[in-house]
Amino acid sequence: MKKRFKIPKSIIRIAVLVIVSVICIAAMDWAFFYPQARTDDLILEVGKHYKDRLDGLGVEWDPMLLASYNTANPTLAPEDCVTEEDFEKVCAMAEEIGIDKIRCFWSESWIEPVNDNDDPHVTNYDAFVWDQENILTLFKQLDFCQKEGIKVNLTTWGGSPFPITEHEEYAECMCVMLEKVIEKGYTCVVEMTPFNEPCWAYKVDGVVDMEDHWQSCRVLDSMLKERGLRKKIKLNLSDNNYSLDSMRTMEELGRLAEIYNTHSYDYISPYSDTAMTEFSQLLTRYAHKNGAIHLVNEFGPNTVINAMTSSDTDTYKRGLLISRVAVNFLNGGTAGLLYWCLTDQYYGVGSRMSVGLYQFKDKGWEARPQLYAYSLLTKYTQAGAKIYPIILDEAHLCAIALKNPDRSWTYAVINSDTVDMDVSFANPHLRSGKMDRYVYCEETLPTDSHPIRSDAVLKINNGLLSDTVRSQCMNVYHLRSNDEETKNG
Ligand SMILES: [Ca+2]
Ligand SMILES: [Ca+2]
C-alpha cells in the first residue's frame, strides 16, 4: 500500500493565516497603506513603470524660418519678416519649454536638385548642394539641438528629382544626407523616417501604393547596410495618419525598424480618456511584437480645416485636449509624442502654418493657450524618464507619474469633467518631499508667453500627495530636485 503524505496541521494553520492576511490587506488596499488619505479622494496609484523609457515629448519644427518666404515675404510688412535675431528668439523659446526632441522635414531635391548620375551605388558627391536656404536653416537648427541635447528625427517629404519608384536613388539620397550629418558631427540626429504620411501621399500613378512604399523602406535598410551606415541611425517607420495603415506597416516590415510611429489627429473633446489609452495600447502591442517601441511622430486635435489651420487653434480647450492625448498615449505604452508644431511660419509665400504653440512674428511670437498647457509636460519631463502609467476607468480624468533621469518626479492629472475632483497620488516609491504645483486653468492663464509658474508647494505625506483638480484644468506637480528630502525618494 502506498504511503500518503500528510501535511502537518500547524503548517495548514499558518498557510490559512497568511492567505487570510493577504486578502484582508488587499481589501483594505490603499487605506491600509495610506491611512491619512482623504476618504472621498480618487486614488491615483503609482505602481510599476513600463520597460520603455520616455523617448521624449517634443514638437515638429521644420527648417523654414530663414528661407526667403519668411525673411523676405512680399505679403508681409518688412518689419514682420524673420531675421537671424528672430531665429535666436525661437531657439530660446524652444529651450525654455524644455523639449526633448524635434521632428524636422527635408526634401531630397534640396540637396540633389538633379540626379547625381544614373548609378545609385556610385555617388557623384559634386552633384549635391549644401547651400540651399532650407538646408542652411536645417543646419542652424541642428547646431541648436546639438548644443541643447535635443534629439532630432529627419523625415523626408518627397519632392525628389527622380520618380518615387526609384527606390535605390531615393535611398542613395538619404544615405548622402546621413553621411553629411555624421561628417558635421550632429549626433543629435538619431532617427530617419522615409516619407511623411505615405497612407495618402505615397502615390504611384496617382494611387496610394503601400506595397511600393514598404519595398522602398526595405531598399533603404539594405543600402544603409551596404554603405556601413545602418548602425549609425535608427529607422522610425510608418508615419501613417491612418492607424490601420500603421498596423499593416508594422506587420509587413516586422523587425526592420527600431521604432514604429503613428500620427494622431483622431480626437476631439468628447473622446474619453480610456478610448485614447486603449488605442495607444493597441498600437504599442503591434510595435512590441516586432521588438520596436511606439511613438507618435505628429499629433494635434481632430479640428483640422486644412494642412495649415484648425478651427480651435486659439482656444483654451485645445491645450487641455492635446495634454490629454499626450498623457493617455503615454499611459497606453507609447514612449513619446511630437506636437505639430512649434511656431507659426511660412512654408511658401502664401502658405502660413497657423497651428503653432507660438504665433508668428507679426503677432510678437505670442504663445497660444496650448503652449501654456503642453509646456508643463515638456518642461517637467525628461527623455529617459521611467513612465509609471496610472490606468483609470474614468472617461474624463487621466493622470500619470514619471521619474526623470535626474531623480526628480513629475505627476500630471487632467480633469476634463464638469465637476472638481479631489485626488491623491499614492506613490510607494516617493514617501516624502515637496512638490511644486503648476496649474493650467482658464481663469489664471498667463499672457506673458512664458511657461506657467508654480502657484503652491505641496508636501508629500507618507507617499500621498493630495489636492483638488478643478473642472477643465490640468495640475502638474514636480518634485523639487534641490530638496534634500527628495534624495530619499
Ligand atoms: Ca542619385
Ligand atoms: Ca549615384
**Structural domains of the chain in order of their starting residue, each with its CATH number:** 33-50+387-488 (2.60.40.1180), 56-383 (3.20.20.80)
Distance from Cα 156 to the centre of ligand 1, integer Å: 15
Distance from Cα 214 to the centre of ligand 1, integer Å: 20
Distance from Cα 426 to the centre of ligand 1, integer Å: 58
Least distant ligand from the CA of 112: 1
Distance from Cα 127 to the centre of ligand 2, integer Å: 9
Distance from Cα 108 to the centre of ligand 1, integer Å: 10
Distance from Cα 102 to the centre of ligand 2, integer Å: 30
Radius of gyration of the chain (CA): 25
Alpha-carbon distances of 174 from 160, 179, 213, rounded to whole Å: 11, 9, 15
Distance from Cα 121 to the centre of ligand 2, integer Å: 6
Q: What is the pLDDT along the chain (489 residues), one digit of tens a residue?
A: 445 556 677 766 776 666 655 554 444 455 556 656 677 899 999 999 999 999 999 999 999 999 999 999 999 999 999 999 999 999 999 999 999 999 999 999 999 999 999 999 999 999 999 999 999 999 999 999 999 999 999 999 977 888 999 999 999 999 999 999 999 999 999 999 999 999 999 999 999 999 999 999 999 999 999 999 999 999 999 999 998 999 999 999 999 999 999 999 999 888 999 999 999 999 999 999 999 999 999 999 999 999 899 999 999 999 999 999 999 999 999 999 999 999 999 999 999 999 999 999 999 999 999 999 999 999 999 999 999 999 999 999 999 999 999 999 999 999 999 999 999 999 999 999 999 999 999 999 999 999 999 999 999 999 999 999 999 999 999 997 644 444 444
- Nearest C-alpha neighbor of 250 from the set 306, 220, 294, 316: 294
pTM assigned to the model: 0.92
Local structure of 44: helix, strand or coil: strand
Distance from Cα 173 to the centre of ligand 1, integer Å: 6
Distance from Cα 324 to the centre of ligand 1, integer Å: 44
Distance from Cα 168 to the centre of ligand 2, integer Å: 9
Distance from Cα 68 to the centre of ligand 1, integer Å: 27
Least distant ligand from the CA of 123: 2
Q: Distance (Å, rounded) from C-alpha 258 to C-alpha 273?
A: 28
Q: Tell me the HSE value of 184 on the side-chain side, using a 13 A CA sphere.
A: 19
- Backbone φ and ψ of 239, nearest 5°: 55, 20
Distance from Cα 167 to the centre of ligand 2, integer Å: 12
Least distant ligand from the CA of 169: 1
Classify the C-alpha dihedral 186-187-191-197 as positive or negative. negative
